[in-house]
């Protein structure tokens, strides 16, 4: 029954899936922004394992193998095509080990290939081959399900879904809504997701690109429109109606370099309180598969888990300001320090 584990969990309640490995390992100094290829899987596997563990500690129900951008096209750009299979297999093995030791689910992963062209059938075949090899390695590693994510083209998502369905594993397909709120072909998200559901997707929704406040408005009609669980994994950045995606954000304090994406987004980072609020609103709306994408750190994920009423192991260290020397309320604290609080 391993292949139905995700669906059984979703029937019981919301599932949390941590994403955002590229950005977090980039910030930690183990991955290069730009090409964004997860060489860290081979160069520093212990760092990948540690981040998997931190996300589970913070409340993730899923360990997603770090095969994001570990596809043929990305490895070609950095001249390391020969690493394709070892990198994928190692990423899956690292994730499988953490999933097994923590009792969480193992997810395989494919993503946008950057070669898909709706008008060029040759690229469709290439994309299918790229997905097929990555998904087959995920199956061999014992994945509970496969995630196809950050897909801007609905057509590319359909190919990913077909490849996943051939394996018999459940599928989670999440699309990227661009500044217009549509797929790259110009399909509204509701329509794009409905077509994926009609083609057999088990979970559909949105991930990456949009922050909580510009993803939420797209979610309500989606939950209404489809009869499968809806996924929502925004980036934890303060996107706005005028700048609805993290790539469109502009920082007036530092106009040069011209765009904060991807390495100067820090001032836009959501607080954990905003993630709490997003999670409540999304869950109330009926979103069943929740997570965070690029920019997420474990404290964000813990806030998400706690907003769903959970106490993951990391909740042992959730903030308790009552014992703070100046700002606290504990009866044993020195009054002179509390009186000094407004001078801090
Ligand atoms: Zn992302």
- 328 occurs within a structural domain: no
CA 70 to ligand 1 center in whole angstroms: 15
Average pLDDT rounded to a whole number, residues 69-88? 93
pLDDT for 171-191, tens place per residue?
A: 999 999 999 999 999 999 999
CA 5 to ligand 1 center in whole angstroms: 25
Contact yes or no for 6/144 (Cβ under 8 A)? yes
- 67 occurs within a structural domain: yes
pLDDT for 274-295, tens place per residue?
A: 999 999 999 999 999 999 999 9
- 300 occurs within a structural domain: yes
> What span, in angstroms and rounded, lies between the C-alpha atoms of 96 and 49?
10
CA 246 to ligand 1 center in whole angstroms: 10
Query: Exposed, middle or buried, 343 (CB in 10 Å: 0-12/13-18/19+)?
Result: exposed
The CATH number covering residue 303 comes to: 3.20.20.330
> What span, in angstroms and rounded, lies between the C-alpha atoms of 86 and 202?
29
- 239 occurs within a structural domain: yes
DSSP annotation of 253 reads T
> Helices then strands (H, E): number in the chain?
13, 8
> What span, in angstroms and rounded, lies between the C-alpha atoms of 334 and 326?
8
DSSP annotation of 69 reads T
- 244 φ, ψ (degrees, to nearest 5): -80, -10
- 70 occurs within a structural domain: yes
CA 238 to ligand 1 center in whole angstroms: 14
The pair of structure tokens assigned to 111 is 């993503």
Q: Any alpha helices (H) in 120-171, and if so which ranges? A: 121-140, 154-167
Closest CA to 18 of 297, 274, 220, 246: 297
Mean pLDDT for all residues in the chain: 96
pLDDT computed for residue 254 by the predictor: 86
CA 153 to ligand 1 center in whole angstroms: 16
DSSP annotation of 341 reads G
Structural domain count of the chain: 1
What is the end-to-end Cα distance of the chain in Å, rounded?
A: 58
Please list the helix, strand and coil fractions of the chain in percent, rounded to the nearest 5, in that order.
Answer: 50, 15, 40
Contact yes or no for 282/214 (Cβ under 8 A)? no
CA 22 to ligand 1 center in whole angstroms: 8
CA 19 to ligand 1 center in whole angstroms: 7
- 338 occurs within a structural domain: no
- 317 occurs within a structural domain: no
With cut-offs at 50, 70 and 90, classify the pLDDT of residue 256: confident
pLDDT computed for residue 4 by the predictor: 84
């Amino acid at each position: 029954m391993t292949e139905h584990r995700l669906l059984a969990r979703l029937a019981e309640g919301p599932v949390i899936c941590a994403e955002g490995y590229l950005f977090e390992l980039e910030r930690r100094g183990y991955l290069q922004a730009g090409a964004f290829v997860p060489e860290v899987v081979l160069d520093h596997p212990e760092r990948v394992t540690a981040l998997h563990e931190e996300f589970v500690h913070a409340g993730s129900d899923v360990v997603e193998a770090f095969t994001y951008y570990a596809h043929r096209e990305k490895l070609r750009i950095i001249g390391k095509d020969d690493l394709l299979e070892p990198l994928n297999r190692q990423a899956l093995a690292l994730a499988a080990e953490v999933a097994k030791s923590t009792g969480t689910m193992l997810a395989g992963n494919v993503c946008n290939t950057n070669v898909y062209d709706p008008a060029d059938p040759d690229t469709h075949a290439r994309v299918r081959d790229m997905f097929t090899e990555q998904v087959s390695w995920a199956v061999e590693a014992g994945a509970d399900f496969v995630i196809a994510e950050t897909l801007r083209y609905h057509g590319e998502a359909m190919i990913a879904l077909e490849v996943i369905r051939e394996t018999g594993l459940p599928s989670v397909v999440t699309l990227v809504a661009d500044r217009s709120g549509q797929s790259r072909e110009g399909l509204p998200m509701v329509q794009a997701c409905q077509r994926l559901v009609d083609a057999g997707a088990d979970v559909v929704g949105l991930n990456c690109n949009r922050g909580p406040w510009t993803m939420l408005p797209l979610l309500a009609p989606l939950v209404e429109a489809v009869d499968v669980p809806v996924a929502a994994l925004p980036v934890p950045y303060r996107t706005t109606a005028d700048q609805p995606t993290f790539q469109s954000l502009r920082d007036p304090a530092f106009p040069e370099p011209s765009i904060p994406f991807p390495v100067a987004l820090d001032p836009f980072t959501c607080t954990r309180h905003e993630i709490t609020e997003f999670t409540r609103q999304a869950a109330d709306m009926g979103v069943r598969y929740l997570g965070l994408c690029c920019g997420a750190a474990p404290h964000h994920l813990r806030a998400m888990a706690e907003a769903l009423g959970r106490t993951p192991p990391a909740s042992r260290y959730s903030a308790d300001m009552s014992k703070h020397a100046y700002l606290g309320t504990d009866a044993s604290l020195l009054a002179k320090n509390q009186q000094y609080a407004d001078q801090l």
